[in-house]
A = this chain, B = another copy of it.
Amino acid sequence: MEKNVTDLLREKGFKVTPQRLAIYKILTMTKTHPSAEMIFSQLQPSYPTMSLATVYKTVDILREIGMIQVLNAGEDSFRYDADTSDHPHVRCMECGRVDDLHDIDFSDFVDGVAKRTSYRLTGQQFYFYGICPDCQKRSAN
């Protein structure tokens, strides 16, 4: 059975606060891979006193306890993803959106790298770049 944030936070010695739960919930309910600023904005209506610093501190803890992963698809800010499964991402070079790529098999690729490098590998991150369907349509008009 999957760990929930509440238990995991307590287990690792962190306190459970409404802010932390709210930030994690935002991340579980979106596929947009929001930045700290985006999370902060989305929480404004329901948590008007939320501080941006709290968002940063919280995502750092969530990453530390393994509940989220951190992305950087070549932008000037980091993005956060509650889907911690190993999956590639694709960023639209026009509008900047970042999407998941699921059901892609890259085990051969990873195996090949593991075999050829003298690094002891612990993880990886695959980023694709291109133009999203919406922006393709828009530029066609």
Contacts and interface: CB of A to CB of B under 8 A. Distances in A.
This protein's copies in its complex? 2
B90 A121 contact: yes
A99 B119 contact: yes
A119 B98 CA distance: 11
A129 interface: yes
Interface residues of A, number: 36
A74 interface: yes
B136 A113 contact: no
A101 B116 contact: yes
A17 interface: no
Contacts of A90: 113, 117, 119, 121
A6 B113 CA distance: 36
A125 interface: yes
A11 interface: no
Contact of A88 (B74, B113, B132): B113
B125 A130 contact: no
A4 interface: no
Contacts of A56: none
